[in-house]
């Protein structure tokens, strides 16, 4: 497993993160297999959110399963996110909501601190001074070690940074070979003939690299927004052809090549995988042994439907 050290944050963490969004569908025995398989493959970082499953069911299932794994709390990094409130149809970064969300996550996960807490999606009514006060309270209470954000634009991060005194160490954003907006725009800059030139995130990737914020890529195998995987999808024949050729050359799965494509980027990103199939976890972790050349990386990018301007 490739490891990275997050600037101002946890050190020696796995470049591949096990996401737990899909865990509510599993029995606690199957969830334990997922956690243990991931750990045995070198994954020591697990991603949660208050909104994964009804009433935080992913966090609950995780804590029910964890004792069956033989692991200790301190063996792993546990991250959760808050701010998305599906039951109320709003995003909420008020002090009241963040504090109660963290307490709920700790109770469901049966732990006394989160390693990292991310604000999940921007609350359009957020008050950065209130967020700063909230982070101070969580830090002083020993409930959260490190703080970050998810799906946030650079100027929103700047606004937060004006008030929040803890470093914002992570920005979790969507990135896959098929959903590569994070990477596309600079390539087509100033080009009126294609939609790829539209800036959708205010140059979030370059901003994060400049400010030592680790990017975590969510849904690295999905097409669209939870549209199913592009792996083996008939909708992506060229991409699957190139994935297949490289998979054969490297003796790994196509999914491993798709993850290796993210890890090959010099931004030193983490990829958050969501499979709940232990065999898929093992396949994917082989991505860390794959050496994609500069040419391989471009061949995959172009096979996903993009072109050189």
Contacting residues toward ligand NAP, per CB under 6 A:
19-22, 47, 120, 150-151, 172, 218-222, 226, 229, 231, 255, 272-277, 280
CA distance 123 to 85: 10
Min dist. Cβ of residue 221 to ligand NAP (A)? 3
User: Which CB, 24 or 301, lies closer to ligand NAP?
Assistant: 24
User: Which CB, 80 or 188, lies closer to ligand NAP?
Assistant: 80
> Which residue is nearest to ligand NAP, using beta carbons?
274
User: Which CB, 97 or 174, lies closer to ligand NAP?
Assistant: 174
User: Which CB, 34 or 132, lies closer to ligand NAP?
Assistant: 34
* β-bridge pairing 13-14 and 3-4: antiparallel
Question: Which distant-in-sequence residues (6+ apart) come within 8 Å of 237 by Cβ?
Answer: none
Min dist. Cβ of residue 269 to ligand NAP (A)? 13
Min dist. Cβ of residue 35 to ligand NAP (A)? 13
Residue 29: is it exposed, middle or buried by C-beta count within 10 angstroms (0-12/13-18/19+)? Answer: exposed
User: Which CB, 19 or 122, lies closer to ligand NAP?
Assistant: 19
User: Which CB, 47 or 296, lies closer to ligand NAP?
Assistant: 47
Min dist. Cβ of residue 48 to ligand NAP (A)? 7
**Distance from the first to the final alpha carbon of the chain:** 36
Min dist. Cβ of residue 276 to ligand NAP (A)? 4
Question: Is residue 12 a contact partner of residue 3, using CB atoms and an 8 Å limit?
Answer: yes
Min dist. Cβ of residue 25 to ligand NAP (A)? 9
């Amino acid at each position: 497993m490739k490891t990275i050290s997050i600037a101002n944050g946890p050190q020696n963490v796995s470049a591949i993160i096990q996401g737990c969004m899909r865990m509510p569908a599993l029995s606690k025995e199957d969830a334990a297999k997922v956690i243990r398989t991931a750990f045995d493959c070198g994954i020591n970082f697990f991603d949660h959110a208050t909104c994964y499953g009804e009433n935080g069911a992913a966090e609950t299932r995780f804590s029910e399963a964890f004792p069956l794994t033989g692991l200790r709390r301190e063996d792993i990094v546990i991250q959760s996110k808050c701010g998305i409130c599906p039951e109320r149809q709003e995003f909420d970064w008020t002090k009241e909501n963040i504090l109660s969300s963290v307490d709920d996550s700790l109770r469901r996960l049966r732990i006394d601190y989160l390693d990292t807490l991310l604000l999940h999606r921007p609350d359009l009514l957020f008050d950065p001074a209130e967020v700063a006060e909230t982070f101070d309270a969580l830090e002083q209470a020993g409930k959260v070690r490190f703080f970050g954000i998810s799906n946030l634009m650079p100027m929103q991060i700047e606004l937060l940074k004006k008030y929040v005194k803890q470093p914002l160490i992570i920005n979790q954003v969507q990135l896959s070979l098929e959903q590569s907006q994070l990477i596309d725009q600079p390539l087509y800059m100033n080009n009126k003939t294609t939609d790829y030139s539209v800036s959708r995130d205010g140059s979030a990737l370059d901003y994060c690299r400049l400010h030592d914020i680790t990017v975590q890529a969510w849904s690295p195998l999905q097409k669209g927004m939870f549209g199913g995987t592009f792996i083996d999808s008939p909708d992506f024949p060229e991409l699957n052809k190139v994935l297949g050729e490289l998979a054969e050359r490297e003796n790994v799965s196509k999914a491993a090549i798709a993850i290796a494509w993210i890890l090959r980027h010099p931004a030193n990103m983490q990829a958050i995988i969501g499979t709940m199939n232990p065999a898929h976890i093992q396949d994917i972790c082989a991505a860390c042994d794959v050496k994609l050349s500069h040419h391989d990386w471009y061949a995959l990018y172009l096979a996903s439907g993009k072109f050189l301007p």
